[in-house]
């Protein structure tokens, strides 16, 4: 455990040092310098894809931390213009099948990721029974459920599910968003019913057919195949003001 804390502390210190260098010119993974507070290529998802339903979990307290996450100033979703264009097609495909897209998260500022790191270092396990009942909190980094960098911070990743227009309910995926465990793997069958498996495949097909690629540990997570900023991690707040002039 001591070694684990050292690892997490070092990760947090590295990010803090990066932020201290400049609020506008952090070094990306490939060594290039890019402005990570420039939101000019981002749009409000509500305006770009008005049929999408928003349930921004990190603005609420119903998430694995149990508190509103730093950097989420409004319950809105931001995304790059390129990803928004692709998501329009996904929304249309979903509508033809009787669904609407329901969004849990899109762009995630590095500030929020830092908040996750801080949480990983403390002893808060208030939401364990809901989001990681099978795992000790100390293994969440090693097993890839949390990272000190997130694809969401690059602006073209989306967490979502399907909302059934006939029933007025979320489609049954056999597991909740942000559940840390094998149950969340897209290829998991285990105790899932045939309907739940088909529902996961329907969401996957819609997203893949519109230019997104999946993640092998989360059925709800998709990234634009040709994302415009593969090596840049942004850090402006999640609020409508961040993209008001775009």
| CA quadruple 228, 232, 237, 242: dihedral, nearest 10 | -40
Query: Beta strands 99-105 and 157-164: pairing type?
Result: antiparallel
DSSP 14-59: HHHHHHHH-SS-PBPTTS-B--TT--TTEEEHHHHSTT-EE--TTT
pTM of the model: 0.85
Question: Do 227 and 85 form a contact (C-beta atoms < 8 A)?
Answer: no
Query: Domains in the chain, ordered, with CATH?
Result: 2-243 (3.30.1380.10)
43-101, pLDDT tens digit by residue? 999 999 999 999 999 999 999 999 999 999 999 999 999 999 999 999 999 999 999 99
Question: Do 71 and 111 form a contact (C-beta atoms < 8 A)?
Answer: yes
pLDDT of residue 188: 95
190-236, pLDDT tens digit by residue? 999 999 999 999 999 999 999 999 999 999 999 999 999 999 999 99
pLDDT of residue 246: 87
pLDDT for 20 beyond 60: no
Question: Do 122 and 166 form a contact (C-beta atoms < 8 A)?
Answer: no
Q: Sign of the CA dihedral 231, 235, 61, 141?
A: positive
Annotated catalytic residue within 74, 134, 194, 218: 218
Residue 118 annotated in active site: no
Q: In the chain, what percentage of residues exceed pLDDT 70? A: 86
Question: Do 136 and 218 form a contact (C-beta atoms < 8 A)?
Answer: no
């Amino acid at each position: 455990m001591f070694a684990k804390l050292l690892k997490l502390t070092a990760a947090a210190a590295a990010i803090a040092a990066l932020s201290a260098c400049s609020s506008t010119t952090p070094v990306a993974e490939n060594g290039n310098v890019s402005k990570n507070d420039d939101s000019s290529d981002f749009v409000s998802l509500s305006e770009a894809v008005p049929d999408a339903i928003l349930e921004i979990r990190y603005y609420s307290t119903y998430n694995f931390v149990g508190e509103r996450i730093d950097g989420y100033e409004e319950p809105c979703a931001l995304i790059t213009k390129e990803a928004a264009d692709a998501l329009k097609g996904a929304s249309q495909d979903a509508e033809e099948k009787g669904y609407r897209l329901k969004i849990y998260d899109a762009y995630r500022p590095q500030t929020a990721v830092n908040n996750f790191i801080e949480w990983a270092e403390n002893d808060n396990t208030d939401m364990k029974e809901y989001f990681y009942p099978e795992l000790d909190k100390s293994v969440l980094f090693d097993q890839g459920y949390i990272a000190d960098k997130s694809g969401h911070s690059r602006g073209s990743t989306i967490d979502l599910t399907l909302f059934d227009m006939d029933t007025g309910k979320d489609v049954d995926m056999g597991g909740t968003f942000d559940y840390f465990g094998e149950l969340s793997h897209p290829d998991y069958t285990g105790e899932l019913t045939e309907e739940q498996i088909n529902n996961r495949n329907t969401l996957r097909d819609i997203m893949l057919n519109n230019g997104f690629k999946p993640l092998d540990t989360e059925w709800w997570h998709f990234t634009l195949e040709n994302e415009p900023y593969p090596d840049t991690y942004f850090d402006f707040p999640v609020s409508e003001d961040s993209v008001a002039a775009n």
